[in-house]
Amino acid sequence: MNEAQLTQELEQALADMPVMDIHTHLVGGKLGARGLHDVLLYHMVISDLYAAGCPSGSRLTQYPGWPTPGEARARIAESLPFLGHIRNTSSFWGVRLIVRELYGWTDPITPDTWQRLDDLIRERADDRAWHHELLDRLRIRRTGTELARREGGIDDQRLQYALEWAFFTRCQWQEYDTALYELERCWGRTPESPAPIGAGVRPATQHVIRTLQDVHDAMRHYMDHIPYDQLLATATHLSTDIQYRHVSDDDMAAALLRRDSAGATERDIYASYIHEAFLTALERRAERIVFQFSLGAEPLPFETGSRLSQRTIAALAHMIGSHPGVRFQCFLASRHANQALCTLARELPNLSLAGYWWHNFFPSTIEAVMTERLDMLPANKQIGFFSDAYCLEWTYAKLRIVRHHLAHVLACKILHGQYTRDEALTIAILYESPQTLLGMVSAARCSGS
């Protein structure tokens, strides 16, 4: 059997095996696309279009709001002249998979045709039975999403949740007190969605942090209002621009006095102090929740670019080693850093790696990351998939892409004599490891929930 034939056979076998999608942004009760804009203007495709010359590089209105019909129409119309330039990209491959395999659409998307396709998608936007059938077709037993998108628990049988509330260590474009503002956003409130990337003008907060005691009071409120019994993980981002270090109370108090003129030094102090306080408090509850973090994607005016310094990798190793009771799980967006992260995961029992995040979700990188991790890490230290999807259609496309490339990686290893076919199909990075590393539970075992 040649490589292509074996890949095809393995892909079919993988399609019959159950999967957990550990990280998305799906909304309970509204799992599917609300229109063509949710498919064609997924943020990864927007980046393709912007690179091709489309004037708009920003995301559409984000949850808890929704794009108005006028906004959706205008952005679709604006994108159409540039579709021909992005047909080569893997993100547009995802668009084609969605419209062809889910909606039977094979025509070009043009000014004369797009509204018909939009109508097809809108017809299914509220068809929850179809959404659940699609999850069953994909063999997805459970999906992780943000707690703030739970919508009263309408899809609890399908969804489990992570807390994306405050991102203390995610830099924002040309901001230096983000860690303080993120903590202020939460002080006196209950969990909600985090501030978006490139948030722009910041809404006023109920409380303002001025003193060290304010930091402690705000952190206590934050930790006390995490609903641990509803969560798998707390998800955040670790920016490579921050110099993570020990910060004393005196250093933090002095830096708070300089907030109005804060620069990179103050940014590092605020983030390091608050992050360490958070990890210290989390370690007392670590048996109940995983610390998920993304790494290697840094803000640009609209989205991010892939950057990660060796200094950050060293700081990460120290951070994880200093908190052995916290279970860390990394979503990596830096291809070149994968080998280094694998070495950390080999030697730090409380670190695992998951999926192919953002700038790593491209076929050549997916295969490189898969190959390296399968060679370097036990299967129970890695999770092989998450979609980061905002609608179920993109879950479909991304899982199709990952299964195809996993099949190719496994086929190559079989032909090289590293695995037998049967051994390859028992490497449980799509289903078993999400259960052991995160505590995800198959929906088939939660029918009474």
CATH of residue 60's domain is: 1.10.2020
Amino acid at site 110:
T
Pairwise CA distance, residues 414 & 419, whole Å: 5
Cα torsion through 155, 157, 159, 165, rounded to 10: 70
Nearest residue to 31 (alpha-carbon basis) of 136, 102, 126, 99: 126
Token pair recorded at residue 49: 């279009």
| Token pair recorded at residue 165 | 């509330």
CB atoms within 10 A of CB 88: 9
Inside any domain, residue 18 = no
Is residue 1 in some structural domain? no
Structure tokens at 161: 């949740």
Is 13 among the domain residues?
A: no
Pair of tokens at residue 345: 């995961």
- Residues 112, 114, 118, 120: what is their CA dihedral angle, to the nearest 10 degrees? 80
Same domain, 243 and 338: yes
- The number of folded domains in the chain is 2
The DSSP-derived string for 386-416 is ----SSHHHHHHHHHHHHHHHHHHHHHHHHT
92 and 158 part of one domain: no
Residue 19 lies in a domain: no
The reply to whether 151 and 181 lie within a common domain is yes
Q: How far is 131 from 33, CA to CA, in rounded Å?
A: 10
In a shared domain, residues 387 and 423:
yes
Q: How far apart are CA 272 and CA 276, in angstroms?
A: 6
Q: Residue 199 has what pLDDT?
A: 60
> Would you tell me how many other CB atoms lie within 10 Å of the CB of residue 383?
29
**Are 167 and 69 members of one domain?**
no
SS3 297: strand
What are the backbone angles phi and psi of residue 231, rounded to the nearest 5°?
-120, 150
| The pair of three-digit structure tokens given for residue 142, joined into one six-digit string | 């459970």
As given in the structure block, the two tokens for residue 70 are: 């006028």
What pLDDT sits at residue 449?
Answer: 37
C-alpha–C-alpha distance, residues 228 and 27, integer Å: 20
Residues 185, 71 share a domain: no
For residue 229, being part of any structural domain is answered with yes
* Helix (H) or strand (E) run with residue 278 in it: helix 264-283
Distance, CA of 316 to CA of 332 (rounded, Å): 13
Crossing angle of helices 264-283 and 212-224, rounded to 10°: 40
In 16-151, which ranges are continuous DSSP H helix? 36-40, 43-52, 69-79, 90-101, 114-123, 128-138
Domain endpoint, select from 123, 139, 164: 123
185: in domain: yes
CA dist 303 and 57 (Å) reads 8
Round to whole Å and give the CA distance between 345 and 295. 14
Do 292 and 157 belong to one domain?
Answer: yes
How far apart CA 72 and CA 291 sit, in angstroms, is 35
For residue 163, the domain's CATH number is 3.20.20.140
Q: What is the chain's pLDDT, residue by residue, as a tens digit (449 residues)? A: 899 999 999 999 999 999 999 999 999 999 999 999 999 999 999 999 999 999 999 999 988 889 999 999 999 999 999 999 999 999 999 999 999 999 999 999 999 999 999 999 999 999 999 999 999 999 999 999 999 999 999 999 999 999 999 999 999 888 999 999 999 999 999 998 887 776 668 899 999 999 999 999 999 999 999 999 999 999 999 999 999 999 999 999 999 999 999 999 999 999 999 999 999 999 998 788 999 999 999 988 889 999 999 999 999 999 999 999 999 999 999 999 999 999 999 999 999 999 999 999 999 999 999 999 999 999 999 999 999 999 999 999 999 999 999 999 999 999 999 999 999 999 989 999 999 999 999 875 444 33
Give yes or no: residues 288 and 204 share one domain.
Answer: yes
One domain for residues 119 and 139: no
Q: How far apart are CA 215 and CA 210, in angstroms?
A: 8
The reply to whether 16 falls in a domain is no
Contact 330, 323 (CB under 8 A): no
Kindly state the DSSP code that residue 149 receives in the 8-state scheme: G
d(CA 178, CA 192): 17
Choose the final residue of a domain: 123, 142, 175: 123
Q: Does 8 map to a domain?
A: no
- The tokens of 79 are what? 């994108």
Q: What is the DSSP string of 356-374?
A: --GGG-SHHHHHHHHHHHH
Cis before 64 (ω within 30):
yes
Please tell me whether residues 262 and 299 are part of one structural domain: yes
**Torsion (CA) 164, 168, 170, 176 in degrees, nearest 10:** 140
45 and 155 in a single domain? The answer is no
Q: Which of 123, 151, 173 is the last residue of a domain?
A: 123
pLDDT, position 287: 81
Burial of residue 448 (CB within 10 Å: 0-12, 13-18, 19+) is exposed
Structural domain boundaries enclosing 359: 130-445
233 with 266, same domain: the answer is yes
Residue 18 region, left (φ>0) first, then alpha (ψ -120 to 50), else beta?
beta
